[in-house]
Structures are given as structure tokens and as C-alpha cells.
Amino acid sequence: MKSILEYDSVELSENGRDLIILDQSLLPNEEKFLHLTSAEQIFYAITLLKVRGASALGLTGALGLAMCMNRFEARTMAEFEKEFMRVKRYLSISRPTAVNLVWGLDRMESCYYRSREVTEGRPAAEAISYIQDQLTTEARTIKLEDVKMCLAISEYGASLLKPGSGILTYCNAGHLAVSRYGTALGPIYYAQQQGYMPKVYACETRPMLQGARLTAYELNKAGVDVTLICDNMASDVMARGKIDVVFFGCDRIAANGDVANKVGSSMLAILARHYGIPCYALGPTGMLDPSAPTGSDIVIEERPSFEVTDMYYDKPMAPKGIKVYNPAFDITPAGLLTGIITEKGIITPDKLGTLK
């Protein structure tokens, strides 16, 4: 059986014509890799959480856009550009809260315009082939940069840990959610490699159970000492002195340092403040969204009601027709965070302006 770090959850095939993802909706019971060959398949893979995690979504957007354009047969540059813009817009609406998805797509658009300028005046076939190569190279570069970014976050986060540190984490911001290593789980892997043997408590993360299905799965597979708890047990383990630090990821950072992450993250920050436990959000500076002055300006995606009432149950666990409120994310105010751990270092929320 392969180590969790021996394969990636998102990658582009060698010929650039298939986007390969690990179907996370099937974990932990089945490891199945999907070969996606159309924008529509990518869209539904994202919306159905077959691929998820902020950085992984950015990679999926970039690699997926390159794949779609490698497969598109255009006779003219006008046709090629029209399809490029169509696919970019289409993929951008699949998960509105995750800023990395749009960031990856926007970076590919910048690459497209640079490449088009270079090919001005060339025959259409030659120009299109050149642009396809450049888009593929750019997407692969984004992935390599993401690996380096995750390693840097891992090192900074691990600097806060001691041998045997107790860590409480939420949802899944690990190897499955990025190119490699992870953000919130990255320091755990790094500390494990340094012989620190951290003890992790993973909240199950209702209603989609990413903590139970994904975080517990990947940490256990990596040999990390991990204990699964229900979300409502977080206060108990903190009160019993089992937690030294809280680590969770982030899907978007507002200009004032407020963080959008999986719904329930703010609950842990509030509890950590009560018990005097440091609480950190971990993510790349690419999560920073200057267009959102505060967390209240971040659009929160609402998910289908069946995720709460039916998902993972043999029979519905709520009355038929009951009203359900199911936001995918919540906002953790900057004042509740000890810091935000990025690839540039550990930034206190009041110093967030240094990232701009």
C-alpha cells in the first residue's frame, strides 16, 4: 500500500489531455482515480466534492483549463479564445467562496494573453499549438509552486510545536486538499518527520464528515497518532488539557484578517479563546482577497439540505420536508486568531497589511 504522500489528489496526465483526481467522495472506503476529459466533468467533480480543498481547487482550475484547451480543436484564434473564456467562466462558478479557484483561472488567463501577444501574426495552427504548450507549462508551474508553498507553511507551523504536542484540527486541509503535504496538516507531517510524534484530535466535521472521512484517513495512513472526535466534543478535550494548539485551514482571508473556512471553524476559535489555547488559520497568501474588506463581504455558499438530513445515513434522519440551513463556511473574526500561518511566515491579523 502506498504512503499518502506518494500520490497527489490532482494532477495532469503526461500528454496533458486528462485531468486525474482522487475521488474524495468515496474515501475512506475506496481509493479511485478519475480521468476527467471535459469542463462539464470538472464542474461536477468540484460541486460534488470529488475534489475539494482550497489549493486543490486552484490547481483543478488551472490544470483543468489547460486540459480542456489541449483537447479543443480550433480552426481560428477567435474560436480558441472564445472557448477559453467560456471554460474559464464556467469553472469559476462551481465553488464561489474558494478564492483559489478563481485565482488559478485568472493566472491562466494572464498566461493566455502573454502567449497570444507572442504569437501575433503567426498562422493560427502554429499560434494555437504554442499557446496550448504555454498553458500546460503554466499549470504545471502553479502546481510546483504550490508544493513549495505547502512545505514553507509546514515548516513555519511546525516551529510552534513541541514533542508530543496535542493538536486539534477541523475539516481537511491536508495532503488531499493541496498539491502535497497540506496547510493545516502540513506542520503535523513535518513534525512527525522530525520525530516530534504529535497527537492529533480530528473533529468529524458535520455534515460532510471531511474530518472523519479524509483527515483521519490520511493521518492514520501516514502513521500519525490521530483520535477522531465528534464536533461537539471539542470543548471537552480542551478542558481536559489535551490540546496545545488549534490548526485549521482557510478558504479566503478578508483584508482585515477575518477568515472564511469550513463551517464550525469559528466555534473552535471561540472555545480556544475561552481556554487560552493558541488558534491559527493556515493558508497561502493567495487566499487574501482585497476585494473583501471584512468577513461579512465574503459570499458564503449554501449547500443542499440532503447533506444534513440524508447523507451517510441508511434512512433520513430528519422529518420529511424539514427546513435546513446548510452553509458551507463560516467567518472567524481576526481578533479570535493568534495568527495566520502563510508561506511568508506567521502573521498576526493586525499585520495582515504586510502581505499586500
Q: Which of 251, 297, 330, 350 is catalytic?
A: 251
Close Cβ partners of 9 (under 8 Å, ≥ 6 residues apart):
21, 22, 24, 51, 53, 56, 175, 176, 177, 178
Q: Establish whether 251 is a catalytic residue.
A: yes
Distance CA 233, CA 245 (A): 16
Taking phi over 0 as left and psi of -120 to 50 as alpha, with beta for the rest, 195 belongs to left
Enter the C-alpha cell of residue 102: 478563481
Distance CA 254, CA 352 (A): 9
Distance from the first to the final alpha carbon of the chain: 43
Taking phi over 0 as left and psi of -120 to 50 as alpha, with beta for the rest, 99 belongs to alpha
For the chain, give percent helix, strand, coil, nearest 5. 45, 15, 35
Residue corresponding to grid cell 489528489 = 9
- 10 Å Cβ neighbour count for 97? 18
CB 214, CB 174: distance < 8 Å: yes
What are the catalytic residues? Answer: 251
